[in-house]
Amino acid sequence: MNPSVVWTIARRELREALRHKWMWAYVVGFAGLATALSGTSLAAAGYAGLGGFGRTAASLVNALLLFVPLLGLSIGAGSVAGDRERGTLLYVLSQPVSRGEVLAGKAVGAGLALMLAVVLGFALAAAALALGAGGDPGAFLALTAYTLLLGWAMLGVGFVVSVSSKRSASAFGVGLLIWLGFVFLSDLGVIGATLAFKPTPAMLLAALVANPLQAFKLGAIFSLQSSLDVLGAVGQYATRQIGASLPFALAGLLVAWAAGAFGTAYVLFTRRSDL
C-alpha cells in the first residue's frame, strides 16, 4: 500500500467534507448545545451566568450518545456508496491504485473530517464553559477522547454499510436503522433481559459494553466522577474488578469496534467483483 496514494485520496475526501454544510452545522450546533445546557443547568440551580462543568458535561454525555453515532454513520454510509452511484468510484479505480488504497484513503479522510468537527465543537464548548465556573480540564479532554473513539467506531460501521450498498439512499436508510438499534433497541433489550433473566452484575456489564454507545457512556461517567457507583451493583462490580484500568479497558473496546468495523469494510470492498 502506497502511503502517498492513500494521503492523496484522504485529502480529496477531507476537502469534500469541508465543503459540506453538515460539518459546520455540527460544530455550531454542538457549541450552542453546550452553552444552552450550561445555562439550563445553572438556571435550575438558581444562579446567573454560565453553569458549572459537572452538570453541563453530564448533560452533554446524553446528547452525544444521540448525535455522534448518527454523525459517524451518516458520513460513513455516504462515503463509498455515494461515489459508486455518481460514477466517481469507477473513475478512481481505473487509475493505477488498488482497492485497499482507495478505501484506506477514504477512511483516513472521513476520520480526519469527523475529528475536526468534534475537536472544533469541543473547543467552542470549552470556551463557553470557561466563562463560567470552569471545571476539570482532564475530565473534559477525556470526554473529548471518548467522543472521538465513539465517532470513529460508528464511522467504521457506516463504511461497512456503504461498501455493501449500491445506492447512497439505501446506505443512509440502513445506517439510520443501525443507529436506532444501538440507541434505543439495545437499551430496551438489556432492560427486558434483566427483568426476565435477572442476570448477575458480570453478565449485565458484559451485555452493556457489547454496545459501543454504552462503553462510551461508562467511560464518560468514570472520567467525570472517577467511579461508576451511580450505576448501582453493575458499576460497583466494574470498579472493583477492573479498578484504575477501567477507562483504558473501555477505550480499548471502542478501538476494537473501530478496528473491527474498518477491517470488515476493507475485506468486503477488496473482495467485491462489482462496484
Distance of CA 135 to the CA centre of its chain: 24
Give the per-residue pLDDT at 213: 87
Residue 199 reports pLDDT greater than 60:
yes
Residue 275 reports pLDDT greater than 70:
no
Domain ranges across the chain: 3-271
Distance CA 246, CA 268 (A): 33
Mean pLDDT of 75-86: 84
| Mean pLDDT, rounded, of the chain | 77
Inter-axis angle of helices 3-19 and 99-130, to 10 degrees? 50
Structure-model confidence comparison of residues 153 and 235, the more confident one: 153
Query: 12-37 burial string, b = 16+ CB within 10 Å, else e?
Result: ebbebbeeeeebeebbeebbebbbeb
Percent of the chain that is helix, strand, coil (3-state, to 5): 85, 0, 15
Phi, psi torsion values for 227, nearest 5 degrees? -165, 155
* Residue pair 114/72 in contact by the 8 Å Cβ criterion: yes
Using the structure block, give the residue that is written with the C-alpha cell 469496534: 257
In the chain, DSSP finds a helix count (H) and a strand count (E) of 12, 0
pTM for the whole thing?
Answer: 0.84
Q: What is the pLDDT of residues 116-132, one digit of tens each?
A: 888 887 777 777 666 65
